[in-house]
Amino acid sequence: MSDRRLVQVAVPVPLAEAFDYLPADDGPLPAPGSRVLVPFGRGERIGIVVDHPASTPLPAGKLKAIRRVLDTVPTIGAELLQTLRWAADYYHHPLGAVLSHALPGLLREGRALDEPPEPTWQLTALGKDQSPDRLVRKAHQQAKALVALQAGSLAVGELRERDITTATLERLAAKGWIEAGAPRTAPDARSLATTAPRLPELTADQRRVLEEIADDERAGSGFRSYLLHGVTGSGKTEVYLRLIAAALATERQTLLLVPEIGLTPQLVGRLRDRFGGELAILHSAVTERERFDAWRRAYRQQAKLIVGTRSAVFAPLPAAGLIIVDEEHDSSYKQQTGFRYSARDLAVVRAQRLNVPIVLGSATPSLETFHNAIAGRYRKVDLPQRIGAAGQPRLKIVDLNRHANRQGLSTPLVAAIDQHLTAGNQVLLFLNRRGFAPALFCPSCKDTEQCTRCDARMTVHARALEVRCHHCGAVRPLEWTCKQCGGERIAVGAGTQRIGEELAALFPAARIARLDRDSTSRKGALDAVLADVAAGNVQILVGTQMLTKGHDFPRVTLVGVLNADQGLFGTDPRSHERLAQTILQVAGRAGRADRPGEVVIQTHYPDHPLLTCLLTRDYAAFATLALAERREAHWPPFAHLAVWHAEAAKREPAFALLERVRNLAGGEDTNGGVTVLGPAAQTMERKDGRYRAQLLFRSAQRAALHRLVDRVLLAIRGSSEAKRVRWSVDIDPLEI
């Protein structure tokens, strides 16, 4: 029907796009981006207005009216709404789910935008007279709070960030030393101007990079993508800070995206020092309340620097001036469940719509980004030199075929550790395997303890006296006696825990710390380890992938990569790229400041071309080589991928669904330029009791790929096969 005033509303329910409603009253229609309460099924839902359609396929009698409009001004601005609609389309995910994903929980639940912000605390006159020094011994927490508040008022969330509890604050309030302050709505006093004089003098390279970007800006370039390729420690972060300051100087907002584990106290401290109250932090560790307040400060332009992990790409930016994606190659930018988007890619789309520059920074750019730079779509700006006198670390290979090794520590590596410790420096060892040992093996009957729910071995966690499955979380007691033959079993191979024990035996005088998911699961444990390393209390740090993420350890001069072989022969087309990134990122922790660094890579394949290339040349050389291989093999960025996943308690239904997808897509042959590969079992077929299969669409033409995904989705949603399994489609998958 037509000639009606109609409102189209996206509601967060599975499989649906948007629904038509009548307006709540005769007034103006609620603008797109506004939240509305609508009747839905037997209940009601909060949805987002996405359109005012001219007509609806629904008959008049079926149309229901909106119950209530929650926003007078749209919560989702026009640009963000457009980007989200684009994202729903591109990632083939329901619009309602995408829109609701983009909002903080409290807004999703209908909380009013103009609700008063979180309270703040400030010192009273009496409080200002107190000397925290005198309190330190008796009331350490209170002293800490007083010191924090001496710089000005702080919101409750900011105090919590400093580990200051409500109880402490109440005690201080009872003494009359602190009082409730005005809610934070504008930048506080600790802003740019006060700290500006302490900025370091830029290096020639940093100045050149900033000039190049400023030149474009002066020429009125608006949107432009930059790849800032700078080796670790080359001063990329300082370049970000200057760009942020320049945007701030003209009252414009910057969105700074960082990897999940990159939001370290180090970085936050540096940003807070320089930009004070301009800062709003959005990431998964903040409370809903804090996220709501931070989001609103961005929405109202009270915060000019919005820093966050993946989902912060959906922050409101009404006065956008700049977007930065730090460590753009990091896999945490890709959401791996539900709405499987890439925050890095969406950031580029947003920058384009906002007509602002975007800087993608990394020492080891993704091959996609590197290719975009070579092809001239992104402007490449380089920082080829490290700051300080240390220079690039020297990379060295230890051939594990030629040298004895004890639980994965070769003789030359042990000698190097000894030498660096003797010189008073720190050592960092990387092994992407946590636990004590990756297998529990019986030498007499050759049985290895397997997980009953996964195609995987159980990992030995010796200290906990358990074996654990790292894929489904199953835990069993550690039993050294073999259940099959009664023989004595042994732990084979080494994880971080075993390496730690081995090192303790070899270097009894050294303090050794571990950095992995087991050792940092307790809240605050990660910060504690990092602080210990920074303070020089730890001599050897053994860790997993966590080590590679942007920490600045100035006294580390030796880095050991204990097992490079894990990545050399992976089945995934990206395994080489990932290995190269890991090696260079972890190597980048060696020899900062003025101490030269050394990197020892242990491998059974010392002549592997990837290792040779990294050793004798640099990341750019590796990337060029790897891109040639990708072109040859028709992998991204020379082809576009969509992968269909299906899993079920039995193998058959998972495969049946993918067979059906395959048939719908047109079977064996190429289909409008789309090749269909599979279905095949996933690398670990059974995980957590479910059989997993996948099917790949590949095409040199993005448009053809998306048309085909759309066509298949339309047919498959609601089909009987689809009801029997858990399935999804992943656009631009990271892992295949």
Binding residues for ligand ADP, rule: CB under 6 A, are 200-203, 206, 230, 232-238, 387, 552
Q: How many residues line the site for Zn ion (CB under 5 A)?
A: 7
Closest CA to 549 of 204, 267, 225: 267
Contact indicator for 292, 112 with CB cutoff of 8 Å: no
Nearer to ligand ADP, 233 or 543 (CB): 233
Residue 341: strand, helix, or coil: coil
Q: Is 58 exposed, middle or buried (0-12, 13-18, 19+ CB in 10 A)?
A: middle
Q: What is the CB-side half-sphere exposure of residue 213 using CA atoms within 13 A? A: 31
Distances (CA, A) of 513 to 265, 428, 524, 602: 19, 10, 15, 21
Indicate which of Zn ion, ligand ADP, none lies near residue 235 (CB less than 5 to 8 Å, by partner kind): ligand ADP
- Alpha-carbon Rg for the chain, nearest whole angstrom, is 28
In order of 28, 47, 221, 601, 605, the CA distances from 608 in angstroms are 68, 55, 44, 12, 6
Q: Where are the alpha helices (DSSP H) in 387-464?
A: 411-422
CB of 507 to Zn ion, least distance (A): 35
When binding is defined by CB under 5 A, the residue of 248, 454, 529, 561 that contacts Zn ion is: 454
Structure tokens at 581: 């990134």
Residue at 286: amino acid letter: V
Rounded Cα–Cα distance for residues 346 and 333 (Å): 10
- Please report how close the Cβ of residue 488 comes to Zn ion at its closest, in angstroms: 25
Task: For Zn ion, give the closer residue by CB, 304 or 433.
Answer: 433
The three-class DSSP label of residue 257 is strand
Q: Is 474 one of the binding residues for Zn ion (CB under 5 A)? A: yes
Instruction: Sort 704 into a burial class: Cβ within 10 Å, 0-12 / 13-18 / 19+.
Output: middle
Answer with the entry of ligand ADP, Zn ion, none that 454 interacts with (C-beta below 5 to 8 A by kind). Answer: Zn ion
Q: How far is the CB of 504 from ligand ADP (least distance, A)?
A: 31
CB of 580 to ligand ADP, least distance (A): 17
Residue 471 partner contact from ligand ADP, Zn ion, none using kind-dependent CB cut-offs of 5 to 8 Å? Zn ion
| Partner whose binding site includes residue 233, from ligand ADP, Zn ion, none (CB under 5 to 8 Å by kind) | ligand ADP
Closest to ligand ADP by CB, 236 or 576: 236
Q: In angstroms, what is the minimal distance from the CB of 228 to ligand ADP?
A: 9
Q: Classify the phi-psi angles of 577: left when phi > 0, otherwise alpha if psi is within -120 to 50, otherwise beta.
A: alpha
Binding of Zn ion at residue 451 (CB under 5 A)? yes
Question: Count of residues for the chain?
Answer: 736
By a kind-dependent CB cut-off of 5 to 8 A, residue 238 interacts, out of Zn ion, ligand ADP, none, with ligand ADP
Residue among 246 and 472 whose Cβ is closer to Zn ion: 472
| 476: contact with Zn ion by CB under 5 A | no
Q: How far is the CB of 386 from ligand ADP (least distance, A)?
A: 8
Tokens found for residue 124: 């009273």
Place of tokens 């037509």: 2
* Residue 211 C-beta: closest distance to ligand ADP, Å: 14
Which member of 52, 353, 453, 724 binds Zn ion (CB under 5 A)?
453
Which of ligand ADP, Zn ion, none is residue 474 near (CB under 5 to 8 Å by kind)? Answer: Zn ion
Stretch that binds Zn ion, among 243-251, 356-364, 424-432, 462-470 (CB under 5 A): 462-470
Least separation in angstroms between CB 634 and Zn ion: 34
Closer residue to ligand ADP in complex, CB, 290/552: 552
Expressed in percent and rounded to 5, the helix, strand and coil fractions of the chain are 35, 25, 40
Q: Which is nearer to ligand ADP, 233 or 408 (CB)?
A: 233
The two three-digit tokens of residue 197, written as one number: 């004089």
Nearest CB to Zn ion, comparing residues 106 and 472: 472
Task: Closer to ligand ADP by CB, 344 or 498: give it.
Answer: 344
Q: Quick one: 200 or 524, whose CB is closer to ligand ADP?
A: 200
Q: How near is the Cβ of 422 to ligand ADP at its closest, in Å?
A: 26
Q: Which residues of 336-350 are buried (b: 16+ CB within 10 A; e: fewer)?
A: eeebbbbbbbbbbbb
Q: Which is nearer to ligand ADP, 20 or 238 (CB)?
A: 238
Query: Least distance to ligand ADP from the beta carbon of 593, Å?
Result: 7
297 or 386, CB closer to ligand ADP? 386
Site for Zn ion in 557-576 (CB under 5 A): none
- List the interface residues with Zn ion, window 625-654 (CB under 5 A): none
Residue 236 site contact among ligand ADP, Zn ion, none (CB < 5 to 8 Å, cut-off depends on kind): ligand ADP
Q: From the list Zn ion, ligand ADP, none, pick the one residue 451 interacts with, judged by a Cβ distance below 5 to 8 Å according to partner type.
A: Zn ion
User: Is residue 469 near Zn ion by the rule CB under 5 A?
Assistant: yes
The distance of closest approach from Cβ of residue 326 to ligand ADP in the complex, given in angstroms and rounded to an integer, is 8
**In sequence order, what are the beta bridge partners of 426?**
556
Burial of 247 (0-12, 13-18, 19+ CB in 10 A): buried
The SS3 of residue 654 is helix
Q: What is the DSSP letter of 546?
A: G
CB 499 within 8 A of CB 408: yes
3-class DSSP state for residue 356? Answer: coil
Question: Which residue's CB is nearer to ligand ADP, number 195 or number 301?
Answer: 195
The CB-side HSE value for 314 (13 A sphere, CA atoms) comes to: 23
The amino acid that residue 520 corresponds to is T
Cis bond before residue 679 (omega within 30° of 0): yes
Alpha helices in 318-365 (DSSP H): 343-354
Q: How far is the CB of 471 from Zn ion (least distance, A)?
A: 5
Binding segment for Zn ion (CB under 5 A), chosen from 405-413, 446-454, 619-627, 634-642, is 446-454
Which range, of 57-65, 469-477, 574-582, 645-653, touches Zn ion by CB under 5 A? 469-477
Report in angstroms how near the CB of residue 215 gets to ligand ADP at its nearest: 20
With beta carbons less than 8 A apart as the criterion, state whether 556 and 591 touch: yes
Which residues contribute to the site for Zn ion (CB under 5 A)?
A: 451, 453-454, 469, 471-472, 474
